[in-house]
Structure 1
Amino acid sequence: MKRIGVLTSGGDSPGMNAAVRAVVRKAIFHEVEVYGIYHGYEGLIKGDIKKLEIGSVGDIIHRGGTMLFSARCPEMKTEEGQLKAIEQLNKHGIEGLVVIGGDGSYMGAKALTERGFPCVGVPGTIDNDIPGTEFTIGFDTAINTVIDAIDKIRDTATSHKRTYVIEVMGRDAGDIALWAGLAGGAESILIPESADDINDVIARLKRGQDRGKKHSIIIVAEGVGSAVEVAKKLEELTDFETRVSVLGYIQRGGSPTVADRVLASRLGAQAVSLLLEGKGGRAVGIEQNRLVDYDIIEALTQKKHTLDHQMFDLSKELSI
């Protein structure tokens, strides 16, 4: 293989640039040309493709977002869109493709793989919801952003003796809520993987009140519902004064942490190694700090991301 492509797709995440950098420099080190595909699958279909050199990825390892930009592309879900994508890849002489993104991005890579084009998926999403890897690129940065916000909000909650309900991202996965909630000492963590009742939340709040606690933090994963609705319910059923903070897209931005820069570098380089070994249709990940790879089609059809329920149980034990 003498020419590969790289694209970022779906929601951006801190560390994507570090992964792009690793793909480009690992490939060039092995005398393989690299072509950057701009604006994700939409750019691929339109032919927005340019050759990347070593200097093209200089001074980006510390930057959030993605230098290749990103976009949603419904057309990639169609047969016509997939054939156009392969046509562009062939037109530019690209023999293998590295796709950096979340499960939607993996679905595009899966489609190309099923049509015979070798792809390797690299997990880039703050949600940490990709099967086959313990951590995804951007997750560590996101939870550090959330914990910084929790610490600041707790100062205000303490000063005014209020209960703050904080909504975090994660889509259908509760990892951001769980990790940040445990690290931030939240009294309750509401996640889609556990059917916690509002009465359980109230019981914990009242136990804290009975021992003299004047403020509380409740973390709500967006997959559960709206923090506004949770706060409204609490005020209807109790005498607790609540305030709501929806952290939103601030969680996706910022300079990636050391953990995300290293993870992105390792996974991006491993993706190139697999293509150079003639292994397409794979996805890379990290398990027990060891690089792994697995069949991308199998991962999306048979594997499922699971939350650490022991950690969730611990959060309840420590919030008594």
Structure 2
Amino acid sequence: MSVSIDIQHAVKRFGDKTIIPDLSLHIEEGEFFTLLGSSGCGKTTLLRMIAGFNSIEGGEFYFNEKRINDLQPYKRNIGMVFQNYAVFPHMSAGKNVGYGLKQRQVKEPEFSRRVDEILNVMQIQELKDRMPANMSGGQQQRIALARAIVIQPDVLLMDEPLSNLDAKLRVEMRLAIKRIQNQFKITTLYVTHDQEEALSMSDRIAVMNHGVIQQIGKPMTIYSHPRNLFVATFIGQSNLFDAEVVECEGKKALKFFDGSLQVMPRLQSSVPVGTPVKVVIRPNEIDFADQGIVGMIVETIYLGAEIRYTVNLENGQTVEVSHDIKRRFAQNGEVVHLAFDHTRANAFDAQTELSLMEEK
């Protein structure tokens, strides 16, 4: 049975250092929720507070209506998957998976039935009698995930579980984790610094920085409509331009360093003329056109499905542009004009760094 998670005004300190100053969060029952942020932002600290491994200096933590602040970790009915697998090297895969059931004194034939069932779900039945030393990293991570799920936890906590796998295995395990989470509908809190993981797996994402949640939303919202400059530049690749809000034929537009103008239909109507802004434009939102900001291509990288260009502008700024391989292939040294998709670009107040775009 899954539960909802409510965190109200959480505080975490290590000595004189405050890691999480005041954090509130609600995770729905059965939701796949991701904490996304760079190392040291407090995401793993928060996960460990939920697990009961870290003390709580302030705030209230609930599973449904049950307060868990003072509840021992083993009484919280959580499943935990770690970065380093934490598979017992002296136990076979089957015994690793059944470890939690044994601790809960589950008897035969229920014990074997549940172990075999989860091995089949994880598609690793053939590994039941194999020792971890004879398994790949991906197989060991599947064993760790099976061990966490077989106990039928209320909450599944995952701390950077794929960071030790190679790129191909990470993609395979993302699909496996999401498929299994959908099947069992376990409330899942997933911690990662990998944006691609977060975007591809999550129902919702919370972007964290210095112990503060910057934005919570669905992956598409986080990517397309970032709330502030930090989120915009943290999620995905981005180019940053300085501009100023001006009036252009009765509409709000942005004036760039070279004097070029770009009407921004989504810009809030209340933004005063003369406001300095930061404009975030992603590499795939820029086209080569007949007019626009002038630059020279200084590097071309072929990436299979796309071509990545590095363009030096006349003001010394460097811009990244990515194009589908079906487009015309440009050459190093070629002078180009850059035009961007004004329906997708985002502008932020240069002082507050908050979004100036209309909410959708």
Give the structure-1-normalised TM-score.
Answer: 0.28
Bigger share in helix? 1
Give the structure with higher Rg (CA): 2
